[in-house]
Structure 1
Amino acid sequence: MNDQGDPGRASALGPVTLETDRLHLRPFVATDAEAVHAACQDADIQYYTPVASPFRYEDAEKYVGETAPQGWATGRDFILGVFRKDKDALVGSFCLTKMSQGVYELGYWAAPEERGQGLSTEAARAMCEWGFTALEAHRIEWWAMVGNTASRALAEKLGITLEGTLRNRSLVNGRPHDWWVGGLLKP
């Protein structure tokens, strides 16, 4: 992994660019709105993640133009777009959200056409390594709605330990749903 940003504490960080063998992880720019909009038409993304449903083009513009930059500015949500090096296609959005001192939550969604190739695992691993190093995290948490087996499989590939199930943690479409929670400790 190549970190081209400024290492240091979360409050002092500006947006960074990370690289893996196959991926660029970088801040979103306005021209990414079209790809974000297309990816977020996926029913699983709208069901399992906190994106708007239905997800309009205006939602994509707000995400890349306001939400992601504000997350970096406040030192709370470190959102990066993930793109393939070989064809500059959007793989997904990956984020570390500050929960408390030294504890961050890993969140992500992946474009449907980019799933099943190990790209999300590669991106998530890069985010976690960056979080442990640059953010000085000692714990990275993972949360997913019970039934999101793809997210759970990715978490297990990262070495995240499933720690429990939270009953009726949130409402989705007006119905309560259970959530899995797990953690990855700094190596």
Structure 2
Amino acid sequence: MDVRQTRRLRLDDLSDDRLPRTRTPVAAVRAGLWARTDRQAGLLVSMAVQQRLTSPAELAVEMMRVRRDRRRMLLNELVVEIGGGAESLGEIDVARECRSRGLPEPTRQSARKGPNGRWFLDVEWKRYGVVVEVDGIQHAWAQHVVGDALRQNELAIAGALVLRLPLSGLRWAPDEFYAQVESALRSRGWSRRWPSGTS
């Protein structure tokens, strides 16, 4: 068991439930501040939003109360990214990597209407009809395989070019995967605009 104390405790941090506990956005921010690594901090905070336990706006309010902490800037940037639509670290990593490689900024968590309700696409360039699905380990589980395939097929039928990017690919073969993303965008009409005076 890991017991922590905080100097930031306020009465409105507590939930209204019968069981005394800290409200979710407060707990998520504290978990991020107390995590062992920056990566773990990002995972804990983004999971709270991904699981619909809190919202980016609620996290932003709690982050404004943090005056000093070595992870303050990191978590502020993460909350801004999540507020921009990203719900997982994979989506955040993809958007960051696209920026650093000069690729256009994608839309994250873009909503689409499917035959069985709404879908949220991880990363999309709607203008070019390119979608990247960022696959964590859960996408290999049997209950997700069929749904993922049906969704990908529906998108392809509608004319989208769908690429799958496993999280392990971000770690072990990023150049190869981002070359495919760039190739897909180029095949759909995107071209890199070089600053004037360069060839």
Q: What is the TM-score of this pair, normalised by structure 1?
A: 0.29
Q: Which has the higher helix share?
A: 2
Which structure has the higher relative contact order (CA within 8 Å, separation 6+)?
1
Q: Which has the higher strand share?
A: 1
Q: What is the TM-score of this pair, normalised by structure 2?
A: 0.28
